[in-house]
């Protein structure tokens, strides 16, 4: 008797990548790994039942430990066993099961995965190369339908891009200490302009950084920090799904990796830097995020993510799984900073509509938008929305997927610029210098570069949060309800009131270009209880 099957909610895979076409079936014996996401044993709910109240000061919040979460809120071992039995029945190999990450990692052939999940798997070709793709929904037997929340890895198309932009300094010019006009800056100079609290270095903290390509060279890191007069940080690599530290040239994703490390560590040089390298697929990205959140060795208190893509590029199951992972981070006291994108209100889609970038659009992410800054000595002389062109401007806008979160209820989030005027999650929450014209001095693969983009803002904020966590003696965790609540009106932000990102304009207070604005770090620390 054939088993009745149910579609996995949100698993429908839409159109192939732009310009991609099918070139044939994937070889039946091609082997790869898949991640099956499993429901929580007990719903986290509002977190209040655990003593966590989002609007409480960080010092009064009761965070879950990673071990307590795994035992009480991770996947039920019985659910994991059912998925494992299903896999074995389809001649698939169970590589690992993780109650904390609510994941069963399975290896097998394309033919067996196609049969197990009711999918047609084909090979696609596009300008960037080839990928293994699928179309339509995935299915599981009815008895697994309540258990399985997502299946990732059958389709291995690249899902995200790094949000950085990279003009070069003239040959022979090293790192300079420019602080006037529209010049570029070292991260410590920006930290001074943004009044980051002094006398702190991130000691006792770990900053997790998610990377989906590229790599770093220890020699570059050592030379860079000697040049800017900051202690050389401790940087370690965590490999996820076969990803690894693989530096190549300065024109590659190395620019992203070095930007993230050098900005975060220049601000908080005594914080440990753990870099999670994973393949650029929905499976790789999700697995890297859950690995970082549940890492009981490095225990990051803040995570920086500078990769993303328009919401329209993601499956619903992916956005739900990421969002739940970031909710878990909130329960554990981990702040997750996400770049809001570098292609203005259209986010590079090119359909004439407004789009926001994911995962910055998750209500549990601290979305980081971009500004253009000018300085006169140690003071900011002007700061406006970063917008040089359609493809060089801060992302921001209204989510088409996530509803308006309660903490944004009084922020004046406008209706979407798209037809229908939906009011959803507003992006970003905060901002910082991102324009390449006022960008960051960075060293990449032996070259001195100036790099901009909202990619720089996420690690800048991650470094600030590490300093605040150090001073407070406990993590600030999920910042969003606080910056829309008790922190409001405390002078913790430089309100950006000039400029636009295309469909949305800056205004007094929160706006869909720069959120609340760029940080006044010392005031933010004070407002959070320091």
Q: Which residues are catalytic?
A: 256, 260, 455
Query: Under DSSP, is residue 465 helix (H, G, I), strand (E, B) or coil?
Result: helix
CA-based angle 456:460:466, to the nearest 5?
150
3-state per-residue secondary structure call for 55-123: CCCHHHCCCCCHHHHHHHCCCCHHHHHHHHHHHHHCCCEEEEEECCCCEEEEEEEHHHHHHHHCCCEEE
Q: What string of DSSP letters covers 191-246?
A: HHHTTPPSS---TT-EEEEEESS----HHHHHHHHHHHT-PPP-EEEEE-TT----
Return the number of other C-beta atoms located less than 10 Å from residue 295's C-beta: 19
Distance in angstroms (rounded) separating the CA atoms of residues 528 and 506: 26
CB 125 within 8 A of CB 23: yes
Distance in angstroms (rounded) separating the CA atoms of residues 493 and 175: 28
Query: Under DSSP, is residue 385 helix (H, G, I), strand (E, B) or coil?
Result: strand
Burial letters 300-310, b for 16+ CB under 10 A, else e: bbbbbbbbbbb
Taking each helix axis as running N to C, give the angle between helix 316-332 and helix 282-293, from 0 to 180 degrees, rounded to the nearest 10: 10
Distance in angstroms (rounded) separating the CA atoms of residues 369 and 446: 29
CB 504 within 8 A of CB 396: yes
Distance in angstroms (rounded) separating the CA atoms of residues 398 and 367: 12
Distance in angstroms (rounded) separating the CA atoms of residues 447 and 140: 51
């Amino acid at each position: 008797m054939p088993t009745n099957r149910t579609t996995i909610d949100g698993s429908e895979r839409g159109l192939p990548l732009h310009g991609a076409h099918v070139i044939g079936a994937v070889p039946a014996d091609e082997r790869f790994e898949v991640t099956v996401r499993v429901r929580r044993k007990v719903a986290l709910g509002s977190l209040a039942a655990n003593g966590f109240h989002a609007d409480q000061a960080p010092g009064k919040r009761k965070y879950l430990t990673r071990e307590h979460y795994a035992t009480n809120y991770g996947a039920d071992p019985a659910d994991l066993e059912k998925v494992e039995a299903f896999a074995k029945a389809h001649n698939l190999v169970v590589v690992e099961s993780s109650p904390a990450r609510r994941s069963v990692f399975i290896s097998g052939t394309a033919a067996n995965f196609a049969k197990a999940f009711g999918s047609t798997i084909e090979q696609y070709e596009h300008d960037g190369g080839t990928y293994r793709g699928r179309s339509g929904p995935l299915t599981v037997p009815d008895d697994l339908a309540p258990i399985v929340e997502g299946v990732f890895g059958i389709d291995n198309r690249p899902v995200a891009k790094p949000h950085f932009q990279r003009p070069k300094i003239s040959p022979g010019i090293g790192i300079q200490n420019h602080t006037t006009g529209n010049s570029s800056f070292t991260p410590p100079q920006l930290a001074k302009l943004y009044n980051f609290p002094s006398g702190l270095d991130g000691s006792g903290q770990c900053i997790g950084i998610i990377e989906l390509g590229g790599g770093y060279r220890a020699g570059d890191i050592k030379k860079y920090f000697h040049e800017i007069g900051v202690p050389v940080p401790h940087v370690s690599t965590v490999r996820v799904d076969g990803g690894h530290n693989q530096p190549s040239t300065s024109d590659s994703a190395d620019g992203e990796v070095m930007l993230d490390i050098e900005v975060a560590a220049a601000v908080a040089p005594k914080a440990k830097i753990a870099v999670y390298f994973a393949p650029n697929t929905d499976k790789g990205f999700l697995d890297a995020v859950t690995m970082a959140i549940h890492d009981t060795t490095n225990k990051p208190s803040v995570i920086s993510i500078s990769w993303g893509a328009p919401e329209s590029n993601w499956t619903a199951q992916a956005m739900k799984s990421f969002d739940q992972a970031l909710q878990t981070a909130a329960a554990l006291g981990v702040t997750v900073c996400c770049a809001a994108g570098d292609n203005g209100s259209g986010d590079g889609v090119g359909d004439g509509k407004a789009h926001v970038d994911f995962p910055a659009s998750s209500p549990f992410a601290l979305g980081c938008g971009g500004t253009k800054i000018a300085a006169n000595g140690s003071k900011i002389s002007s700061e406006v929305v970063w917008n040089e062109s359609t493809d060089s401007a801060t992302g921001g806008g209204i989510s088409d997927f996530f509803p308006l979160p309660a903490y944004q209820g009084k922020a004046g989030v406008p209706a979407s610029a798209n037809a229908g005027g939906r009011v959803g999650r507003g992006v970003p929450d905060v901002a910082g210098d991102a324009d390449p014209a006022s960008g960051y001095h960075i060293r990449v693969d032996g070259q001195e570069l100036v790099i901009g983009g909202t990619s720089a803002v996420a690690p800048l904020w991650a470094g600030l949060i590490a300093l605040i966590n150090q001073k407070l003696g406990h993590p600030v965790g999920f910042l969003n309800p606080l910056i829309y609540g008790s922190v409001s009106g405390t002078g913790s932000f430089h309100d950006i009131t000039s400029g636009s990102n295309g469909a949305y304009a800056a205004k007094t207070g929160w706006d869909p270009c720069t959120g609340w604005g760029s940080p006044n770090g010392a005031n933010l620390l004070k407002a959070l209880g320091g």
